[in-house]
Amino acid sequence: MDVLFSRDKKEQPEPVKARVTGKIPTWLQGILLRNGPGMHTVGETRYNHWFDGLALLHSFTIRDGEVYYRSKYLRSDTYNANIEANRIVVSEFGTMAYPDPCKNIFSKAFSYLSHTIPEFTDNCLINIMKCGEDFYATTETNYFRKINPQTLETLEKVDYRKYVAVNLATAHPHYDAAGNVLNIGTAIVDKGKTKYVLFKIPATVPEDRMKGKSPLKRTEVLCSIASRSLLSPSYYHSFGITENYIVFLEQPFNMDILKMATAYIRGTSWASCLAFHKEEKNAEVGSNLIKLASTTARALKENDDQVYCQPEMLYEGVELPRINYAHNGKRYRYVFAAKVEWSPIPTKILKYDILTKSSLQWEEDDCWLAEPLFVPTPGAEDEDDGIILSVVISSDPQKPPFLLILDAKSFTEQARAYVDVEVHLDLHGLFIPDTDFDSGKQAPSQEVQDSASDCHVVSETRRA
């Protein structure tokens, strides 16, 4: 991952017109909005983990066959404090910020004391959440930031704790058919209990919209689940959903709250306070802890009191999987994902057929690809009737970054949009159709240029 730290990215707050090759589907009108770390050094200080970098929002606006790109750093309190001090002064997941050596002893003592019960960062660099008619940059703390998806302007800071008692929450909420936001967070030692809280933020209701009220004020707790451990709750990145149930896995990867409270004093990061809980005292030796009939995966308790896991391998090296979200919580057939091989950086994207165990891949020399996002064709009936959007950057400095547009059925290239500015390798995001908000066009329509560039589509079949 060292290459990702080689240079901080410059923001491009004003829209830049892309050079389009190929043919963009006429129905594709909207904004691809994405989020991820863009700045890894501040002054002479450097972040220790890629997930700590300061959030850089960027977007591709697609209208009438034209594409415009812009990017802007999230003006979080964390960003502002760091830039003002010209050093990292707010601690992140893998980087603990310490007082300036020039500060006096009283300032240093106060900094150590304040980190015993830390004020978490609002550097919301992971994802984008739609809530009612508003959009928010999210991370895994209790904070998220409202943003303008058209200008990328940073708006108000929101604290989950004003609406639901959680100290942490996932950056990967789900949405039900009505557009309600479903999410889960952890309440740490709340009234003597540590628990996982499932909550719902309703879609905007007409009377609230007329009064200018946020749907956050109608946040509803669906249920809470007591943690098996008061001071070592499970760390979770996301959760599952079906048509009737929310599926939460209290996995044995735990946060040690006491270690987190003393991490600053001990000179370690919060990341070092996470560890696998190896014991499974109630299992019989030789027993398979996985009871699901739908998988061949096994987790066997052996004589040495260790549990040995044997996964059901569908496809090796898959990261950042996405589906046609209309099938979320239902039976689906296709998974779109990034593929990694010799390094953590994806060099291919793929379409995997769960039914036939076959796949299609797109790759090109020197290309690093972001999470593939599926956008359905209006009125589509087939699950894979739509297009795939992926942001591509190159390890070749002579090759500019571009937005890749593939036909989701055949995985053949439809178009690409080159931009002559720096683009960062991001994490997650969403596509906002123009029907979701009234947006003015940035420039008059113009015919696309050139023919589609060469690409490689590889078909292969694998068995689980």
pLDDT digits (tens, 9 = 90+) for 405-422: 999 999 999 999 999 999
Rounded CA separation 100/95 (Å) = 15
Model confidence at 271, pLDDT cuts 50, 70, 90, reads: confident
Q: What angle do CA 179, 180, 181 make, to 5 degrees?
A: 115
Any binding-site annotation on 49? Answer: no
Is residue 81 in a domain? no
Any binding-site annotation on 327? Answer: no
Is residue 441 in a domain? yes
Any binding-site annotation on 172? Answer: yes
pLDDT for residue 254 is more than 60: yes
- pLDDT tens sequence across 343-358: 778 899 999 999 998 9
pLDDT at 288: 85
pLDDT at 400: 95
Is residue 412 in a domain? yes
pLDDT for residue 282 is more than 90: no
pLDDT for residue 331 is more than 60: yes
Other Cβ atoms within 10 Å of 226 Cβ, number: 12
Between 396 and 389, residue with greater pLDDT? 389
Q: How many domains in the chain?
A: 1
Model confidence at 141, pLDDT cuts 50, 70, 90, reads: very high
pLDDT for residue 87 is more than 90: yes
Asked which of 317-321, 332-336, 404-408, 452-456 is least confident by mean pLDDT, the reply is 452-456
Asked which of 27-31, 45-49, 125-129, 204-208 is least confident by mean pLDDT, the reply is 204-208
Place of tokens 């008059």: 444
Is residue 289 in a domain? no
Is residue 451 in a domain? yes
**Residue 447 tokens, joined:** 């015919």
pLDDT at 127: 97
Domain with 409, as residue range(s), is 318-461
Model confidence at 311, pLDDT cuts 50, 70, 90, reads: confident
DSSP sequence for 240-277: EE-SS-EE----SEEE-HHHHHHHHHHT--GGGGEEE-
Is residue 404 in a domain? yes
Its sign, for the CA torsion 41, 42, 45, 47, is: negative
pLDDT at 102: 54
* Helix H or strand E segment including 81: helix 77-85
The average pLDDT across 44-50 equals: 90
pLDDT at 190: 82
pLDDT for residue 238 is more than 50: yes
Is residue 371 in a domain? yes
Residues 6+ apart with CB under 8 A from 171: 124, 126, 127, 129, 138, 139, 140, 428
Is residue 33 in a domain? no
pLDDT for residue 7 is more than 80: no
pLDDT for residue 160 is more than 80: yes
Q: What angle do CA 133, 137, 138 make, to 5 degrees?
A: 115
Rounded CA separation 103/112 (Å) = 13
- pLDDT tens sequence across 113-130: 444 445 689 999 999 999
Listed residue (26, 25, 69, 32) closest to 322, CA to CA: 32
3-state secondary structure of 436: helix
Between 290 and 107, residue with greater pLDDT? 290
Between 360 and 96, residue with greater pLDDT? 360
Any binding-site annotation on 58? Answer: no
Between 93 and 441, residue with greater pLDDT? 93
Rounded CA separation 392/424 (Å) = 9
